[in-house]
Amino acid sequence: MAAIAIIGHGVVGSGTVELFEKNKASIEKKIGRKVEIKKILDLREFPDSPYAHKFTKNFDDILNDSEIEVVAEVVGGKTFAYDYTKRLLESGKSVVTSNKELVATHGAELLAIAKKKNVNYLFEASVGGGIPIIRPLNKCLAGNSIEYIAGILNGTTNFILTKMIREQMDFNTALKMAQELGYAEADPTADVEGYDAQRKICILGSLAYGKHIYPENVHCEGITKIAAEDVLYAENAGYGIKLIGSVKQVGDKVSAIVCPRLVSRANLLSSVDDVYNGISVVGDGVGDTLFYGRGAGKLPTASAVVGDLIDALKHNERAVTIGWDDNDDADYVVSYKSVETSVYVRAKAEDADSLKSKLSELFGKLIFIERNGRPSDEIAFITPSFVESEIDEKLEILSKSMSVESKIRLL
């Protein structure tokens, strides 16, 4: 009989218990042993739960129980989770987690402890909810040099953008709807400002390139400034707007950024709508791949947690090789200003059309975009690809005759 414990009984934690109990018979067949959830740690009371007798408020009940082999940490955040995870791994227990913040911030350290102790620290649920992405990247695509990863990594913002595109809602109305449906929290900052996606792209990049990428080094722009006009112009030019986290190797460094992007309708990522996530991985052998599914939610995230629990229980006497090196190079992530990109620009100018020749002189072959009812003081265009600082310099030259309202990079 194997014993496991779960730390946290919120959305993901309760989903983990539910899915685990539902599919217990097949899970036990896969593991080759009987298994039970022995303890659930939460500071709240759950007197009506059928598992009420398993609850504890004392972490030591789990840490000191030698029967418990694997612990699912689904409490989130860094405060308790960091301390608990460290102590569990040090004590020789495997830990599986959905905690992207913790993995993105302390992953290298925690993975090193797991390796030293010959236990597992698994985190399939930390990126893309239930979508298999960590193991595919780490194992199935291990024969590739990864050329590029670009993903819609946050379901809340994708829901909002989908509403803005399909139903011409403005940002605030769409956000309110997301909150009413329970997709966005009362304080939506981590989602709409891109911090959630930032953590996730750090995890994917660390795994793909073998060195820890820290969130504070990754430039991040959210979706709060996207206007209904931008959606219309993008649509007319054959693009959707998506919040994209991306990472790419540049020599022995990487470029990594989270920002809204115009995504061509020919790219499958532009069809990833609503609360779904989609992650595109390009490798030198495999070419382009896409992983798609529900990037959040109770049971989808629990699916990844339970998958990791099964894997850790199957490998109870050895560590699965997964991880990356720590990294004290503050310049490992190159400045986004030095990366080549095309951008979409929407600007205001007294007589906008009169600027076209000046703009074309500066940028070369520009694509000017129209929309129904475009006011005469508005202009929108897509530039060719330049290093971003150069684009900014060119726009600066025109700063007296034109004020830039929106600048969105292309994927």
Give the residue with the Cβ less far from its own copies, 290 or 362. Answer: 290
d(CA 340, CA 176): 35
Minimum gap (Å) between residue 324 Cβ and its own copies: 11
Give the residue with the Cβ less far from its own copies, 136 or 392. Answer: 136
Give the residue with the Cβ less far from its own copies, 37 or 355. Answer: 37
Asked if residue 265 lies in contact with residue 130, where contact means CB atoms within 8 angstroms, the answer is: no
Minimum gap (Å) between residue 260 Cβ and its own copies: 22
d(CA 379, CA 358): 13
Minimum gap (Å) between residue 268 Cβ and its own copies: 6
Minimum gap (Å) between residue 361 Cβ and its own copies: 38
- H or E, element range at 390: helix 388-397
Give the residue with the Cβ less far from its own copies, 22 or 57. Answer: 22
Asked if residue 111 lies in contact with residue 138, where contact means CB atoms within 8 angstroms, the answer is: no
d(CA 407, CA 104): 28
Give the residue with the Cβ less far from its own copies, 89 or 96. Answer: 96
Give the residue with the Cβ less far from its own copies, 193 or 273. Answer: 273
Catalytic, 200? Answer: yes
Minimum gap (Å) between residue 137 Cβ and its own copies: 8
**255, 272, 293: which is closest to 149 by C-alpha?**
255
Minimum gap (Å) between residue 194 Cβ and its own copies: 24
Q: How many CB atoms lie within 10 A of CB 235?
A: 17
Q: How many CB atoms lie within 10 A of CB 194?
A: 28
Contacts with its own copies, residue ranges (CB under 8 A): 15, 19-20, 22-23, 26-27, 29-30, 32, 124, 130-132, 135-136, 139-145, 210, 268, 271-272, 283-294, 297, 299-300, 302-307, 309-311, 314, 318, 321
Minimum gap (Å) between residue 30 Cβ and its own copies: 6
d(CA 389, CA 397): 13
Give the residue with the Cβ less far from its own copies, 76 or 278. Answer: 278
From 200, 242, 248, 407, the catalytic residue: 200
**CA 187 vs CA 20, 192, 243, 312: distances in Å:** 31, 10, 19, 35
| Phi, psi angles (nearest 5°) of residue 193 | -90, 0
Q: Is 77 exposed, middle or buried (0-12, 13-18, 19+ CB in 10 A)?
A: exposed
Long-range contacts from 297-301, C-beta under 8 angstroms, 24+ separation: 297/11, 297/15, 297/129, 297/130, 297/155, 298/11, 298/12, 298/14, 298/15, 298/18, 299/15, 299/18, 299/19, 299/130, 300/129, 300/130, 301/11, 301/12, 301/15, 301/98, 301/125, 301/129, 301/130
Task: Report the catalytic residues.
Answer: 200
